[in-house]
Structure 1
Amino acid sequence: MKGIIFTEFITIVETQFGLDISQQMFDDANDSGIYTAVGSYDHRQLIKLIMSLSHITNIPASQLQQTYGRLVFPALLQALPIPNIEDDDTFRFIEKVEQYIHIEVKKLYPEATPPKFIFSNKTQSTMTMDYHSARCMGYVCMGLLEGCAHYFHQSLTITMQPMNADQSHVRFSLTLTGD
């Protein structure tokens, strides 16, 4: 997993919970806390940090992941090579992530394994999207979808349905509820 995911997570934890909680999270996870945005790290280390933070704050790990996804969206948007998003809306941008961004990430980082999105049942106001990832971070994806809708000034209702026990396949049903 690319280091920007880790560095942004740490920044969000420090901003939302403070330096003491951040340090306690690292201590409890037996983690040095040393990450660079351009490095590559095992995603299980991020899960370990999230679980530690959940234990410290008594906030469910799923809620922390979703909040992280929502808050990290603007930083990821700035960091990624995304052409012509001025005329996009939430649905067009989400499709562009799969059709363009994930392909470009693979070109830049051949070892990267971005999630796979499969779209179905798309209308002007609804979309069904299947998320496939061995990292099983559907709640982060849900937060990213919320962050995307916020960025494009749209209201979005999202339902999330795990399609298997480990949640490596999750189905999202998205409905635009207003502009």
Structure 2
Amino acid sequence: MKGIIFTEFLELVEQEFGLEVLDKVLDLSDDEGIYTSVGSYDHKDLVKLIVNLSKTTDVPPDQLQEVFGETVFKNLLATLPSNATLKDCAHCFEFVRHVEEYIHVEVKKLYPDANPPKFEFISESETELVFDYKSARCMAHVCVGLLKGCAKHFNQTIDMTMSPLNEQGSEVRFTVTAT
């Protein structure tokens, strides 16, 4: 997993919970918290940080992943070049498609060893998008946060359901409905 995910997570923890909580989470995780944005790290270290943040704050891990996903969306949007086709998206569904078709492709070009989640689109209408999230990292709740952040950005209201496609949680079907 790319270090930028770790650095953004640590920044979020410090911003939302304070430096004292961040230090406690790092201690509980036996983690020095030293990451570079371009480095590659084991995703299990991020999971350990999330679990220990949950223990420290009494906020469920899934909820923490969702908040993180919303933050990642805002940061992703802010870092897009002004000429990126993603900036021309008119609604949430269009942006989600571009994440798979543009961002994940570009990530793989920049970092050939990167393994971003995969979105396999099943169906799409003006009001409903169905896709499968596939990732060995089993962090579908980060995707929920990304979707929520995306909907807020486009001033849309969405409902979503998640249906696990396997026991591990590495494959999840999302049904997103614009209301």
Alpha-carbon distance between aligned partners in 2 of 1:84 and 1:12, rounded to the nearest angstrom: 24
For residues 60 and 87 of structure 1, do their structure 2 counterparts lie closer, same or farther at Cα, with a shift above 3 Å needed? closer
Number of the residue aligned with 1:137 = 139
Alpha-carbon distance between aligned partners in 2 of 1:87 and 1:99, rounded to the nearest angstrom: 13
| TM-score, normalised via structure 2 length | 0.94
How far is the alpha carbon of 1:71 from its aligned partner?
A: 2.0
Alpha-carbon distance between aligned partners in 1 of 2:10 and 2:91, rounded to the nearest angstrom: 29
Number of the residue aligned with 1:15 = 15
Number of the residue aligned with 2:100 = 98
Moved more, 108-117 or 67-76: 67-76
Residue-by-residue CA offset, 1:41-96 (whole Å, 9 max, x unaligned) = 11111001001101111111111111111122111223356424234310011001
Alpha-carbon distance between aligned partners in 1 of 2:60 and 2:86, rounded to the nearest angstrom: 37
Q: How does 1:75-154 map to 2 (within 5 A)?
A: 75-80=75-80, 82-154=84-156
| Superposed CA RMSD | 1.2
Within the candidate set 165, 168, 173, 2:170 is matched to 168
State the 4+ residue runs in structure 1 displaced beyond 6 angstroms. Answer: none
Secondary structure class of the residue paired with 2:124:
coil
Do 1:7 and 1:37's aligned partners in 2 also have CA atoms closer than 8 Å? yes
Number of the residue aligned with 2:24 = 24
Do 2:86 and 2:98's aligned partners in 1 also have CA atoms closer than 8 Å? no
Alpha-carbon distance between aligned partners in 1 of 2:77 and 2:89, rounded to the nearest angstrom: 15
| TM-score, normalised via structure 1 length | 0.94
Aligned residues, how many? 177
Alpha-carbon distance between aligned partners in 1 of 2:65 and 2:2, rounded to the nearest angstrom: 16
Number of the residue aligned with 1:46 = 46
Do 1:80 and 1:101's aligned partners in 2 also have CA atoms closer than 8 Å? no
Q: Which runs of 5+ in 1 are unaligned?
A: none
Alpha-carbon distance between aligned partners in 2 of 1:29 and 1:77, rounded to the nearest angstrom: 30
